[in-house]
Each structure stands twice: as C-alpha cells, then as structure tokens.
Amino acid sequence: MARVIDLECDLPTPEAYEFRAQQSKPVLGSGDTFRGTEARGASGHGMVNYLNIFGPGYAAEVGMSREEFDAKRQQLGPDELMAELRRRMAEKAISLSDFVKLMDQAGVARAVVGTAQQPSNTYVAEVVRAHPDRFIGFARISPWDGMAGVRELERLVREDGLRGLAMAAFRERIPANDRRYYPLYAKCVELGIPVRLYSSMSYATDRAYDLGHPRALDDVACDFPELTIIAGLGGWPWVPEMMALVRRHPNLYVDTAAHRPRHFATRGSGWEMLLQFGNTISQDKVMVGLSWLTVGQPYETLIGEILALPLKDSVKEKWLYHNAARVLGVG
C-alpha cells in the first residue's frame, strides 16, 4: 500500500458540512467567507456558477440521478439547488475518528486541513489537537485584516500548533503579489512556515478569472526568496508557466488538488508539462492534493489514479509522500 500525504483534505464531519451548507444560503449567493468578497449580480452569478460547471458531479456524489438534477434545476434557483445538494451531502457526515479509519484503509498517513474550506481556524486547531499525528493545520487569514491578521497568524502557529498559511486570491479579489499580502508573507518567513496559494482559474463569474494566475507567484518568490510557497491546484490552465516557475524558484512547489489525476495523462488536457517536468527535473517539487469530496471520489480511487500515471515508480513515491514530508517537516 502506498503511503500518502494529502495536501488538500476535505473533512466529512458534521461541522464541516454545516459550514458548507451555510455558505450556500440564498441571501449570499456565494461561497465567499472573507471581507470584501460579497456576491454581486443576478442569482447564480459569482461563486454559485460552480453549479453550472460541476453540478452533475455534485448530484452524483449525493446519489441524485442526472434526470432528477435537471428537474430540480428547473424547479429551484441555483442558490436553493446548491443548498439542497449541500444538505444531502451532510447526511453522509461521519465523525473525525471514523474518517481517520478511512485514511488508514487508504494509506493516507497525514492530511493537511485548512487548505480546503473548513469552518474556522479554531476548528482546524481542534482537529489537529484531536489527532496531532494525522492532521497538519493551515490557517486562513485575510490580507484585508492587516496587522491584526498578522498577529492572529502568529498566535495560531505558536499557541494552536498550526503549521502553514493558506490563501486564495480569487476569494480576496486581489492577486497574490498585491502588497496587502506582504506582511503575512514576512511573518511566514519569520515563523518558518510555508504559504499555500491558490494558483488556478476561478469559475466565479463576478471577478477576474485569472486572479490565481501563477505569474503572481513569480513576484512573491523574487521578493521573499526564503519563503516556502506551495502553488495549489497545479496552475491549470497555465501549467507550462507554472512548471517553468517551479523550476526557476528553489522554494516554489506545486500540488495537484481539486483535479482528477486520471486526466493528467489525457492528451490535450493541458497537463502535459506537469507529467514531463514532474517526472524528470522537477520530480522533487510536486505533491498531491486529493480533494476527495470536491471531486466526488474515495481516496482509494484517486490514489489508484496517481499510481496509474506514466511516472517512474520512484517519482510516484515522491509525489505521494516524500516531497510533502520534506516540505512540511514530517518525520
């Protein structure tokens, strides 16, 4: 059985599902949780546009047929339909201890929480305290919170044991090289923790699609050469640029979260450079984020898809475990 460290762990606990359901309230019409990110425009605009892209997959996850999904789509607005899907997902909630058993069965030795959406930093800290040998906590801090956010990050690391910072430019509506992030980056260097930055296209239609473009990471890596940066979600659809930057900057890494691994080897998918460089000169720079709830597949399926990729066996071990263990300081 392969050993795995998951860089983006979706928790199936009641608390996490409740948080997702609250995000789907029609009054918001958005999954945003940070200041300055209120949805604008018509119903279905903004974050709820993800329903248009991934709706059939969400429906399949809760056992809803395509026919039932299409019928409900005619009856309900997108906000209400998303809320119903979230509620039905919540019916599958299990305890944290039971989830750890699922991790054991799949060979997932460690999982990072806080990079996927979780209820709060406080909840992430509780998860880590409950199973410190299984979960690694990342904090979510908004750059809009200024020095108050910097001080909170230090407290979360020093007092609550969190070991990284996660931010998503498309949620904050400012790219990762905006000066508002820089005090947080400096604090990460001081604390010796990595920052994980969303680096992919957003499907939210009330903001720029390229807020997560990898080019912003070039400025950050140049300005903070001591900062360990993890580019989340692989940089798609700008994968060649992402892999060029990974090669250029010694402390820049990439993870595969929120994408089905089986597509990486599909010709024309845009992932060719991930496999080419990830199997050769950048094999020490790639880590897996499995995002099992997001993509609607169990751990075993997604790990099997990684193992089926046209990679050297030694490289598969690095992607699945060794690279993340080194970057995250796992013994």
- Shared domain for 78 and 207, answered yes or no, is no
Q: Give the C-alpha separation, 19 to 118, whole Å.
A: 7
Show which of 40, 63, 90 is a domain's final residue: 90
- Shared domain for 250 and 174, answered yes or no, is yes
* Mean pLDDT to the nearest integer, 31-57: 61
| Phi and psi torsions of 88, nearest 5° | -70, -35
Q: Which residues pair with 166 in a beta bridge?
A: 140, 196
Report the pLDDT value the prediction gives residue 44, as an integer from 0 to 100.
Answer: 63
331 has a pLDDT exceeding 80: no
Residue pLDDT, tens place only, 166-212 = 999 999 999 999 999 999 999 999 999 999 999 999 998 889 999 99
Query: How many domains are contained in the chain?
Result: 2
- Shared domain for 253 and 141, answered yes or no, is yes
34 has a pLDDT exceeding 80: no
Nearest to residue 277, comparing CAs of 286, 264, 268, 266?
286
Which residues lie below 8 Å from residue 213, measured CB to CB, with a gap of 6+?
A: 175, 199, 238
pLDDT level of residue 82 (50, 70, 90 thresholds): confident
Report the pLDDT value the prediction gives residue 298, as an integer from 0 to 100.
Answer: 93
The first and second tokens of residue 254, run together, are 């990439």
- Shared domain for 58 and 102, answered yes or no, is no
Alpha carbon of 209 to those of 140, 201, 290: distances in Å? 21, 6, 23
Q: Which residue has the higher pLDDT, 118 or 196?
A: 196
pLDDT level of residue 60 (50, 70, 90 thresholds): confident
Report the pLDDT value the prediction gives residue 46, as an integer from 0 to 100.
Answer: 79
Residue pLDDT, tens place only, 223-262 = 999 999 999 999 999 999 999 999 999 999 999 999 999 9
Residue pLDDT, tens place only, 282-312 = 999 999 999 998 888 899 999 999 999 999 9
22 has a pLDDT exceeding 80: no
- Shared domain for 227 and 189, answered yes or no, is yes
Map tokens 């992932």 to a residue.
Answer: 271
β-pairing, 135-137 with 229-232? Answer: unpaired
The percent of residues in the chain predicted with pLDDT above 70, rounded, is: 92
- Which range has highest mean pLDDT (19-33, 64-78, 298-312)? 298-312
- Shared domain for 141 and 212, answered yes or no, is yes
Asked if the bond preceding 237 is cis, omega within 30° of 0, the reply is yes
Q: Which residue has the higher pLDDT, 81 or 223?
A: 223
Report pTM.
0.92
Helix axes 14-23, 78-90, angle to 10 degrees: 180
Map tokens 């909630």 to a residue.
Answer: 93
Q: Which residues pair with 255 in a beta bridge?
A: 287
Residue range of the domain that includes 255: 4-13+93-328
